[in-house]
Structure 1
């Protein structure tokens, strides 16, 4: 009955949404009125839409993206979709809060240095790390270091220390590689390898270091990163890592190397760490490498200046099966197709690895993530190449 319908003004009053907001969500296909007067264009809403409008108001308050709001309101009852979307958004908010806390810690340090430049001594952050794990992390990210002279900040490896975790990051804007290694404070667990490394007192300064949980980010030039990797070699012991305001030092097996860090602020890489893939596909690393190496390619521009590259096309069909597709668009109809720089993809695939990979695909223009299940803290991200329509 039309008498049961609410006017847009009444729904706005009862739901806490404004009239203009209700009009916006109608146009966005989120909450359409039950009836629109064909003569005046006035919107009328069914009684049951009040609950949706109130839910929409609360989703709006927590900053849920429009696509997720649409998914929640459009989810079939009992499907669990709405709850999964809400849970994902909650994790996103929690991650954002952690990022904000980290940035505020760095901001406080910068304010202290700005207000007391003569009395604020540069902090040194000392940690110990398994030499083999640090070497493996450098190997996992080195290929993605940038070489563009116009972007000197990308010509190194970011050493991002936060508590007991050290993350190494490298990117040239078209790909990114990350690797995580656990670290500990010197002296917290005395290690005989450190004593043999030439440190007369491995626990010296441990109390102050243990109290220093502030994060630090240092960009290590590529040449210094390569020298660090050579120093680590195939050592099985413990390496001592010192990150200062502008220096990096590593000591292992009685040898030491030290150098200056790049004086640049690294771009925020963390949003790319939290992808929301549509497809997760597990497959053999060796099989994928062979398929990519032998598949036909297509030459397309991939950079801001139109630099050409050979493109490989990955396709996921309706069953979730991934193949390296023909670049001419032939193949299973309706399959998700993601084009990437073929050479970058091959460099991102671990060589000589008999194990499995997990590929995460979010769409034809969404980043492609390549993960190794036995190393959950290490993965690569490739930016897609847009295929011509």
Structure 2
């Protein structure tokens, strides 16, 4: 038997930590002297204390440490893997937040960032994402288009939580990285601008302005923090390789609007159920086929899918299907700058 001091030296846990884990029922001494209250530990508990010390250092919650000690090795390994995934996700969040803080620091030194690109490129980028912007007054941070400036490109993002559209456009950038939410009125006024010329965007925390020769469209960015849109992209990418299905945009649009196309109604919304056929194309199937092949099909809001198709234009598109619970992606086959995601609807 070893005293609490010897156990502390052998395990890497302090005496106060050992007392804490005793109170919490995680590592209870094998013997407590009834006369003086001294705690005594066995050699097996030394090994357990070392395990507790390691888990404590990597930030595992007390309840989970207790669970690891009380389970078998296989289950313990699974718990360690789950905790590691949480740590990795937390590190990704920390990196993104520090990038935002870096940008805020740069904003103090370089208050204005300018981005120059052609009118055609800018209007196309805004057209690719505008349809997905939110309209819910309870979520005002989504009622705009995120404009995120990188070193050599500008990213436009819009989402209402049920769909998301992204366009990354190379551009000439002068200034620090910037992230502002453009009001939809500013976006719509800019899309209506017809003069074909290079357009310069001026961005800071108080202003978003598009200008050319003799004109300017100016507004104030929305004063909210935008959703972490990259997390949705990373979560989808972690799911493995989706199945790719080429489609003709006009043909699929005609199918979706035809009176005899199978539709499913859920919560007052019309859904369509998509499946990849034997020839590799996309089929719209009925509710019975959906129920029979739920693991292979994906159901999406019909109106939202039409919006995404209309934003993508005519011609060939690629649909990426990855089962019933992962977002449906829509891309142009020869243009990797833009794509949209539709959240699936569960059966």
Question: When the two structures are superposed, what TM-score results if normalisation uses the length of structure 1?
Answer: 0.62
Q: Alpha-carbon deviation of 1:254?
A: 2.5
| Unmatched segments (≥5 aa) in structure 2 | 1-46, 56-67
Residue 183 of structure 2: which of 198, 221, 236 is its match? 221
The 3 A distance-change label for structure 1 pair 332 and 112 is closer
Equivalent-residue separation in structure 1 for 2:106 and 2:286 (angstroms) = 57
Q: Work out whether residues 296 and 312 of structure 1, in 8 Å CA contact, stay in contact via their aligned partners in 2.
A: yes
The one of 52, 55, 73 aligned to 1:22: 73
Q: Alpha-carbon deviation of 1:296?
A: 1.9
1:283 aligns with 2:247: yes
Aligned to 2:202: 242
One of 226, 251, 257 as aligned partner of 2:217: 257
Aligned mates of 2:171, 2:106 — CA distance in 1: 27
Q: 1:21 to 1:176 in 2, by over 3 A?
A: farther
1:195-229 C-alpha deviation (Å, 9 max, x unpaired):
xxxxxxxxxxxxxx4xx4x3211001111111121
1:159 aligns with 2:147: yes
1:106 CA displacement: 2.1
Change (3 A) 1:382 1:181: same
Q: Within the alignment, does 1:107 sit opposite 2:73 as a pair? A: no
User: What SS is found at the alignment partner of 2:111?
Assistant: coil
Q: How many residues align?
A: 275
Q: 1:180: which partner in 2? A: 168
Change (3 A) 1:261 1:354: closer
- Aligned mate of 1:370, from 317, 330, 334: 330
Question: Aligned partners of 2:280 and 2:324: how far apart in 1?
Answer: 15
1:344 to 304, 308, 315: 304
Give the root-mean-square deviation of aligned CA atoms: 3.3
User: How many Å separate the matches in 1 of 2:322 and 2:124?
Assistant: 28
Question: In 1, are the aligned partners of 2:129 and 2:311 still within 8 Å (CA)?
Answer: no
1:142 corresponds to 2:134: no
Q: Does 1:299 align with 2:259?
A: no
1:94-139 deviation per Cα after TM superposition (whole angstroms, max 9, x unaligned): xx86x755531321454688xxxxxx46711012111110000111
Q: Which has the higher helix share?
A: 2
Q: Which structure would you say has the larger Rg?
A: 2
Task: Report SS of the residue matched to 1:328.
Answer: helix
Structure 1 unaligned residues grouped into runs of 5+: 1-8, 29-56, 66-91, 114-119, 186-208, 302-307
Q: Is the 8 A contact 2:128 2:312 kept in 1?
A: no
Which residue does 1:86 correspond to in 2? Answer: none
Shift of 1:267: 0.5
Secondary structure, counterpart of 2:196 in structure 1: coil
Within 5 Å, which residues of 2 pair with 1:116-131?
Answer: 120=108, 123-131=111-119
The 1:64–1:252 alpha-carbon spacing in structure 2 relative to 1, beyond 3 Å, is same
C-alpha distance in 2 between matches for 1:293 and 1:133: 30
